[in-house]
Structure 1
Amino acid sequence: MSKRVRELLEAADPARGAQVGAGDVEALLLLARADITPHAAVVPARPRGSRLAVVGAACGAIVVVATAITVLQPTPGPPGSPAPSIVPDTTRVPADCLTPIADGLRATSYDGRTGRYEYLHMTGHSGYQIQMPGRPTGVATALFSHETSQWLAADGSGRMRVVRGAPTYPDEASRSFYAQHPDIGPKAGSETKDLRSGDFTVTVLPAANPAAMEQALYQPRENGPSQALVGVAGLNSQRVLDSAHRAAVLRFLAGTEGVTCRGEQTDPAGRSGIAVSAGGGRSPQPSPGDQGREYLLIDPQTGEVLASGVGDATAAGVVTWSTVYLERGHTDVLG
């Protein structure tokens, strides 16, 4: 990470200067499983933070010169709280459902196209939490939606834009805490950051074969197969994958022990896909109890990742899609 990006992250940190005492580590880890910080490539959040200026309406259709962008789902703005989906109990079915998709992969509008910038448009739901003073096990949580648009060139230059929705609170204690501390926590609004060359470290695309995908995305290996899904979601949050790389990702997942097919599902944008998942909590010293499952939703025609999320490990298979990938493409113009 460059010095400038670190400075941007530090300046945007809503908890900068807040005093945090000893807390309930298990509670923090449990809440963090639901994507407590945005994982989109935006300047302050999961290695991708926030960037915004004030934007009134949501992003509409993008029409630019020398652009090839696939609109995976038109949306009027950041969706509301993601509704949980019920996934069939197929936890023991291997992910061989992905092999036919890879074999018959259909091209997207951006396959074979080029442009200075890779463009990604995503929405998601994240959260912010801090321990409440004087309450060792009390954690104040704020939840919010975020919409991210990013234009990234190979040298790390480009533009990042994040539109964050108004925070909501899961309990009255959290609501009261943030009301009494208005300078702490996320704020609704929009921010845009223009990036110079070197400001952002662009993830290198692995070679378009399953072995290279495994080496790059299934790390740390000791975390178990859920780490493979986390790696694929992270790659899709930073790069636009062509057909060869999408096929390699599908074959990598299909050959990963512990990744299973979970039937057809619909994401918050109303798109149907094939769900695959893998159980969490398989590190060398896992926490006790149900560690849930990581999920990906795959377009059965193009092999694109439509959404990623987390859910429980029960037969009911309740899953919440925390990140939804709406648009991908190549362009020579910053939006």
Structure 2
Amino acid sequence: MFGVQRTRTLVGPADPARRMPAEPPRLSASELIAWAEATAEPSTAPAAVRSAVRLPRRMVLATGAITLAAGAVAVITVPGGPVEVEPGPADPSGTGAGRVLVPVAYQPGTDEAAGPRLRALADGLVDAAYESSAGRYTYHRRQVWGDPVMTSPDDRFSVAFSQETKVWWAPGEPGRQTTVMGVPEYPDQASRDYWASRLPVSATASADAIPLPPFESAALPSTGRELARMLKTELGAGPACKETSRIFGRYAVPRRTRAEILRVLADVQGFRWRGEVTDRAGRDGLAVTFDDREHSQQHLLIFHPRTGELLASELLTLHPVRMNAYELILETGRTDRLG
């Protein structure tokens, strides 16, 4: 549906990744942009790179038709008080696909500095399931939404398709990636209403598989100082959130390193503790948020309550409240089988 080649064809010369060497996981434009950011020196990178603002790849479309459905109400605490997000009624025909996304809900009153809680979590971690497995390939299964994004000509209404990817990779060896394109999902009810009669593609899921060329990935450090550098904590909590998601989405992070990552994040100013939450896959977790007031965004990280693995990350626009992007890390492992 919106595979790598079709997206690049649509974007053409504006594609910021068109001259980049391939590097797994090749999941979206934002992944390739993140690779470029990781290779740039903070002191010389332009402001757009140093910023925590997410820059999704956008396509402007305005024709076609599809029938869609919606989700449920959620309440989220943002600067200025709780905000209720109402996605609207479900498609009465029962045949539609897609939903209006609402923020992950957390309990009111869970708003305290996250540092002490993150350190306590780090001190009590247990092994993750993948630490009892072995194999030459690192494997991840992820679900992402928010890139590429299709927008109306006036940039007011948007829609994106969820993607489930599976990636197998090993340093210096060929790898493999499979991608299943899912149904359309919407950041707000107004976008759902707008695209209901204009979306020019079928909601039927499509799948593709591509080989990944050999590449050498930087070794995952284990000390706090090295991890702080890898997480770009000197740039603040926003970039640290993005790099945390990138690390857990690429590596099978060992327990001691997970603990150090949590301790590093505990020292970053701005994280707030949000307590127990349920992610979009129905898993229980512990959440922290960071409000980027300069860019009217909120970053959310959800960690496994016992292993400290990153389960999910989200980016929310605060004014008005609407989803910008989400990622679920559904499975991590090691294997000798490629695909």
Superposed CA deviations along residues 223-265 of structure 1, whole A, max 9, x for unmatched, are x312211110111121110112111111111111112211111
* Counterpart position of 2:136: 116
* Counterpart position of 1:326: 330
* Counterpart position of 2:77: none
Give, in whole Å, the separation in 2 of the partners of 1:276 and 1:89: 13
- The one-letter amino acid of 1:47's match is E
* Counterpart position of 2:164: 147
2:145–2:162 CA contact under 8 A, matched in 1: yes
What secondary structure, in the 3-state scheme, does the structure 2 residue paired with 1:227 have? Answer: helix
Q: Which runs of 5+ in 2 are unaligned?
A: 16-23, 34-96
Structure 1 pair 318/13, CA: closer, same or farther in 2 (3 Å)? closer
CA RMSD in angstroms comes to 3.6
Give, in whole Å, the separation in 2 of the partners of 1:206 and 1:99: 21
Q: Say whether residues 1:165 and 2:198 are aligned partners.
A: no
Q: Larger % of strand: which?
A: 2
Report how far residue 94 of structure 1 moved.
3.0
Superposed CA deviations along residues 275-304 of structure 1, whole A, max 9, x for unmatched, are 0111225xxxx45xxx12101111111010
Report how far residue 89 of structure 1 moved.
4.1
Report how far residue 333 of structure 1 moved.
0.2
What secondary structure, in the 3-state scheme, does the structure 2 residue paired with 1:297 have? Answer: strand
- The one-letter amino acid of 1:273's match is G
What secondary structure, in the 3-state scheme, does the structure 1 residue paired with 2:241 have? Answer: helix
Q: Say whether residues 1:255 and 2:267 are aligned partners.
A: yes
1:146–1:163 CA contact under 8 A, matched in 2: yes
Q: Say whether residues 1:13 and 2:27 are aligned partners.
A: no
2:237–2:269 CA contact under 8 A, matched in 1: yes
* Counterpart position of 1:294: 299
Report how far residue 42 of structure 1 moved.
3.0
Query: How is 1:268-287 mapped onto 2 (pairs within 5 angstroms)?
Result: 268-281=280-293, 286-287=294-295
Query: How is 1:201-240 mapped onto 2 (pairs within 5 angstroms)?
Result: 202=217, 204-218=218-232, 221-222=234-235, 224-240=236-252
| Equivalent residue for 1:95, pick from 110, 115, 132 | 115
Superposed CA deviations along residues 159-194 of structure 1, whole A, max 9, x for unmatched, are 111101133562455455543xx6xx9984111111
Q: Say whether residues 1:191 and 2:208 are aligned partners.
A: yes
- The one-letter amino acid of 1:298's match is F
Higher relative contact order (CA 8 A, sep 6+): 1
What secondary structure, in the 3-state scheme, does the structure 2 residue paired with 1:208 have? Answer: coil
Report how far residue 14 of structure 1 moved.
5.5
Give, in whole Å, the separation in 2 of the partners of 1:139 and 1:102: 42
What secondary structure, in the 3-state scheme, does the structure 1 residue paired with 2:184 have? Answer: coil
Give, in whole Å, the separation in 1 of the partners of 2:183 and 2:146: 12
Report the TM-score, using the length of structure 2 for normalisation: 0.65
1:102–1:303 CA contact under 8 A, matched in 2: yes
1:81–1:125 CA contact under 8 A, matched in 2: no
Report how far residue 83 of structure 1 moved.
4.3
Give, in whole Å, the separation in 1 of the partners of 2:128 and 2:148: 36
Give, in whole Å, the separation in 2 of the partners of 1:44 and 1:230: 14
* Counterpart position of 1:84: 103
Report how far residue 110 of structure 1 moved.
2.2
1:129–1:140 CA contact under 8 A, matched in 2: no
What secondary structure, in the 3-state scheme, does the structure 2 residue paired with 1:115 have? Answer: coil
What secondary structure, in the 3-state scheme, does the structure 2 residue paired with 1:269 have? Answer: coil
* Counterpart position of 1:307: 312
| Equivalent residue for 2:256, pick from 244, 251, 259 | 244
2:146–2:324 CA contact under 8 A, matched in 1: no
Identity of aligned pairs, percent? 25
Structure 1 pair 188/100, CA: closer, same or farther in 2 (3 Å)? same
Report how far residue 140 of structure 1 moved.
5.9
Report the TM-score, using the length of structure 1 for normalisation: 0.66
Report how far residue 205 of structure 1 moved.
3.9
Give, in whole Å, the separation in 1 of the partners of 2:132 and 2:213: 27
Q: Which runs of 5+ in 1 are unaligned?
A: 1-7, 21-39, 50-77
